[in-house]
Amino acid sequence: MTGLLAVALPGVPLLVGLVGLLLPPSPRGAATGEDPARRAAIALGVAGAAVALLAAVALLVRVGHPVEGSTTWIDFGGLTVTLGYRLDGVAVLVATAVAAVALAVQVYSIGYLKRGPHDDVDVDHRYPPYAAQISLFTAAMLTVVVSGDLILLLVGWEVMGICSYLLIAHDRRLPEAPAAAMKAFLVTRVGDVGFLLGIALLGVGAGSFRIADVLAHHYSTGTLTAACLLLLAGAAGKSAQFPLHTWLPDAMAGPTPISALIHAATMVAAGVYAVARLFPLFERAPVALAVLGVMAAVTLLLGAFAATAQDDIKRVLAWSTVSQIGYLTGALAVGAPTAALFHLLTHAAFKALLFLAAGVVIHAVGTTLMSRMGGLRAAMPVTFWCTVIGLGALAGLPPLSGFWSKDGVLAAAEAAALDDAGPAPQWVGWLVWLAGLLGVAVTAWYATRLLLRTFFGAPRDPLAQPHDPPGLMRWPVLLLAVPAALLGLAAFWGPFTARIFAPASEAELTGFGNSLVHTGGAVLLPLVLLLAGAGVAGAGWRRDPAADPARFLGPLRPVFARAFRLDDVQHALVVRPTTALARAVRTGDERGVDGLVEGSGRAAVGLGGGLAALHRAAVPRAVAGVLAGALLIGLAVALIGVTS
């Protein structure tokens, strides 16, 4: 039964997605919603996500300790690839979060991708492929979560990438969407080069790609470090870690529900999840963990500072995602995968909530720019309170979920810094801890700014007539607000902690103990920083409620707004050299290699022409030639005759 549920978990959304792709993509009447294909797509999408959620919940009840099941998929000359699942408490918890967010997004999209008050008359949302791609995306993420084989994990990993590509490019009215989609896929694909090589190293070493076999195999330190570093490249791409984070803010060109699905709750979590899944390997490769720690600290602060200066509400949230994933990888680097997974779950809840709430605001106002919002609190009370919960959790305000999980990350980093409790060198602990603490203050600052700029003060767009959303969009937001507020309290609940600690049970990884709750004096420090950050933002806003608190950043504002110009760096160091090289190689291939071929052809024709011309001679010269030839042959015969 468990096996059946484990197969159904990704299988049902996959099937539903494939069927959905066969529906007519762009039928008549799609804009008005009066169309059978759209209705069928809605039914398929919602049903697929709902079945997946049911399966996940059923597994949550059944699965305590790890269970596995697999069958041989293909044997490549002694390298076995299996088709199998590997379930433990963490896998089912993450699967539940994925399925829940997917269901919320499917329902929310029904209302969001309808012709709104600000749309053109002939707008056509092509709903069937959209819903089918969400289903495929869900199936791919669930495959990553339950997979018991590295190759199967890679399948889900890349299918998720291509679904994100398709969904980001969905909105045909945005000219920047196709470029953003391409960037998202290519940047992650570059990371996946490393991921594939890492998997190849591990699989070749163990003679199998089954995760259980890989974890049980004893690699040499060199191989293990190389493999872990290569895997980190893939994880950095998917989880938007420096220096492969550049795709995520641009990916906001996708519809807002897609941002919630891809860029908050699931896809960016995949990298962290994969590292946590293989953590016993990373634990034995402190060099890889040190690299991860540096990456985490840079990403955490980079994302937080970039979020301070954005005017686009979705980009603030996108950069906050980059920053929060930095906390997750930081926790991994100091050897606390459980803390990372706890924050992953709470982050999934509050970030999905924030994106969906932001979508409501965007839908009501018709713009994503905060400079044209303001004063929405009165007109949209439901959205306002949900956003408050989401931002509070993001900043780590007790007793909301983010407080507990972020506190766990900081406590682990503190222990690694002060007591050298982690598997990585002690300085990694210091780096992550200090970056994390600074990040708390900055997060509080930009969360406060977002709230004030959007919901407080005077309305800056007099034409907009904002209102709370219709039921299809309101209920997902309201329901997501519950875990965003309360999930942190699960840390006090036995069954939850038993599941999230399950994979670590055989060898308790580090000295952080078996509890998710960390109380004591150390909790005060982040709280003080939180209040300081929020207070500074509030004070700045109070001085002039119409002006942007970001003005206090001064000359740093444009630098932060463009995220330290790393896009330009990437363009100068990777994109332009590659295209220049491509042009040069094309020219070389056409002129050089093919030129040689064409040249030899022309030379042969020329040579033939020359010889032909020689043969076209007048009679006297021809006669002389024949006689000369006869004379030469005669001479040769005579000479040969003499010598022999």
Among residues 175 and 641, whose Cβ is nearest to other proteins? 175
Q: Examine residue 525 and tell whether it contacts other proteins (CB under 8 A).
A: no
Q: Which of helix, strand or coil describes residue 517?
A: coil
Q: Which of 115, 189, 284, 377 binds other proteins (CB under 8 A)?
A: 189
Among residues 186 and 527, whose Cβ is nearest to other proteins? 186
Rg of the chain (C-alpha set): 31
Q: Examine residue 216 and tell whether it contacts other proteins (CB under 8 A).
A: no
Instruction: Give which of 342, 316, 322, 346 is closest to 481, Cα–Cα.
Output: 346
How far apart CA 353 and CA 104 sit, in angstroms, is: 10
Among residues 227 and 358, whose Cβ is nearest to other proteins? 227
Q: What's the sign of the alpha-carbon dihedral 625, 629, 634, 639?
A: positive
How far apart CA 486 and CA 483 sit, in angstroms, is: 5
Among residues 41 and 452, whose Cβ is nearest to other proteins? 41
Q: Examine residue 253 and tell whether it contacts other proteins (CB under 8 A).
A: no
Q: Which of 142, 146, 151, 304 binds other proteins (CB under 8 A)?
A: 151
Q: Examine residue 155 and tell whether it contacts other proteins (CB under 8 A).
A: yes
Among residues 158 and 407, whose Cβ is nearest to other proteins? 158
Q: Which of 182, 229, 489, 553 binds other proteins (CB under 8 A)?
A: 182
Q: Select from 5-13, 177-185, 434-442, 472-480 the region that touches other proteins (CB under 8 A).
A: 177-185
Q: Examine residue 88 and tell whether it contacts other proteins (CB under 8 A).
A: no
Q: Examine residue 632 and tell whether it contacts other proteins (CB under 8 A).
A: no
Q: Examine residue 154 and tell whether it contacts other proteins (CB under 8 A).
A: yes
Q: Which of 162, 294, 369, 479 binds other proteins (CB under 8 A)?
A: 162
Angle at 259 between CA 254 and CA 261, to 5 degrees: 125
Q: Select from 95-103, 199-207, 302-310, 437-445 the region that touches other proteins (CB under 8 A).
A: 199-207
Q: Examine residue 304 and tell whether it contacts other proteins (CB under 8 A).
A: no
Strand partners, 147: 85
Among residues 169 and 288, whose Cβ is nearest to other proteins? 169
Q: Which of 88, 149, 192, 312 binds other proteins (CB under 8 A)?
A: 192
Judge whether 338 and 466 are in contact, CB under 8 Å: no
Q: Examine residue 573 and tell whether it contacts other proteins (CB under 8 A).
A: no
Q: Examine residue 201 and tell whether it contacts other proteins (CB under 8 A).
A: yes
Half-sphere exposure (CA, 13 Å, Cβ side) for 317?
A: 32
Q: Examine residue 176 and tell whether it contacts other proteins (CB under 8 A).
A: no
Q: Examine residue 614 and tell whether it contacts other proteins (CB under 8 A).
A: no
The pair of three-digit structure tokens given for residue 69, joined into one six-digit string: 């099941």
Other beta carbons within 10 Å of 630: 10
Instruction: Give which of 428, 439, 440, 437 is closest to 510, Cα–Cα.
Output: 428
The pair of three-digit structure tokens given for residue 445, joined into one six-digit string: 């600052």
48 exposure class (CB count in 10 Å sphere: 0-12, 13-18, 19+): buried
Q: Examine residue 222 and tell whether it contacts other proteins (CB under 8 A).
A: no
Half-sphere exposure (CA, 13 Å, Cβ side) for 318?
A: 27
Among residues 72 and 505, whose Cβ is nearest to other proteins? 72
Instruction: Give which of 65, 70, 22 is closest to 44, Cα–Cα.
Output: 22
DSSP string, 460-503: S-TT----PPPHHHHHHHHHHHHHHHHGGGGGG-HHHHHHHTGG
Q: Examine residue 251 and tell whether it contacts other proteins (CB under 8 A).
A: no
Smallest separation, CB 325 to other proteins (Å): 22
Smallest separation, CB 189 to other proteins (Å): 5
How far apart CA 72 and CA 84 sit, in angstroms, is: 8
Strand partners, 262: none
Half-sphere exposure (CA, 13 Å, Cβ side) for 622?
A: 7
Q: Examine residue 235 and tell whether it contacts other proteins (CB under 8 A).
A: no
Smallest separation, CB 260 to other proteins (Å): 23
How far apart CA 127 and CA 171 sit, in angstroms, is: 11
Q: Examine residue 603 and tell whether it contacts other proteins (CB under 8 A).
A: no
Q: Which of 4, 43, 193, 626 binds other proteins (CB under 8 A)?
A: 193
Q: Which of 542, 551, 583, 602 binds other proteins (CB under 8 A)?
A: 583
Among residues 188 and 443, whose Cβ is nearest to other proteins? 188
Among residues 210 and 347, whose Cβ is nearest to other proteins? 210
Site residues (CB under 8 A) for other proteins, limited to 8-47: 21, 25-26
Judge whether 405 and 338 are in contact, CB under 8 Å: no
Other beta carbons within 10 Å of 576: 11
How far apart CA 490 and CA 495 sit, in angstroms, is: 9
Judge whether 549 and 442 are in contact, CB under 8 Å: no
Instruction: Give which of 323, 330, 328 is closest to 300, Cα–Cα.
Output: 323
Q: Examine residue 578 and tell whether it contacts other proteins (CB under 8 A).
A: yes
Q: Which of helix, strand or coil describes residue 314?
A: helix
Q: Examine residue 7 and tell whether it contacts other proteins (CB under 8 A).
A: no
Q: Examine residue 536 and tell whether it contacts other proteins (CB under 8 A).
A: no
Q: Please state the separation of Cα 279 from the chain's center in Å.
A: 19
Q: Which of 108, 112, 185, 433 binds other proteins (CB under 8 A)?
A: 185
Smallest separation, CB 560 to other proteins (Å): 30
How far apart CA 274 and CA 145 sit, in angstroms, is: 8
Q: Examine residue 119 and tell whether it contacts other proteins (CB under 8 A).
A: no
Q: Examine residue 544 and tell whether it contacts other proteins (CB under 8 A).
A: no
Q: Select from 388-396, 399-407, 461-469, 592-600 the region that touches other proteins (CB under 8 A).
A: 592-600
Q: Which of 577, 601, 609, 625 binds other proteins (CB under 8 A)?
A: 601
Q: Examine residue 200 and tell whether it contacts other proteins (CB under 8 A).
A: yes
Other beta carbons within 10 Å of 86: 24
Q: Which of 56, 196, 232, 309 binds other proteins (CB under 8 A)?
A: 196
Backbone angles phi, psi at 530, to 5 degrees: -60, -50
Smallest separation, CB 292 to other proteins (Å): 21
Judge whether 369 and 326 are in contact, CB under 8 Å: no
How far apart CA 140 and CA 7 sit, in angstroms, is: 12
Q: Select from 181-189, 432-440, 466-474, 524-532 the region that touches other proteins (CB under 8 A).
A: 181-189
Q: Which of 34, 75, 419, 506 binds other proteins (CB under 8 A)?
A: 75
Judge whether 262 and 254 are in contact, CB under 8 Å: yes
Q: How many residues bind other proteins (CB under 8 A)?
A: 52
How far apart CA 118 and CA 71 sit, in angstroms, is: 53
For other proteins, the binding residues (CB under 8 A) are 21, 25-26, 73-79, 126, 129, 151, 154-155, 157-159, 162, 165-166, 169, 172, 175, 177-179, 182, 185-186, 189-190, 192-193, 196-197, 200-201, 203-204, 578-579, 581-583, 585-586, 589, 593-594, 597, 601
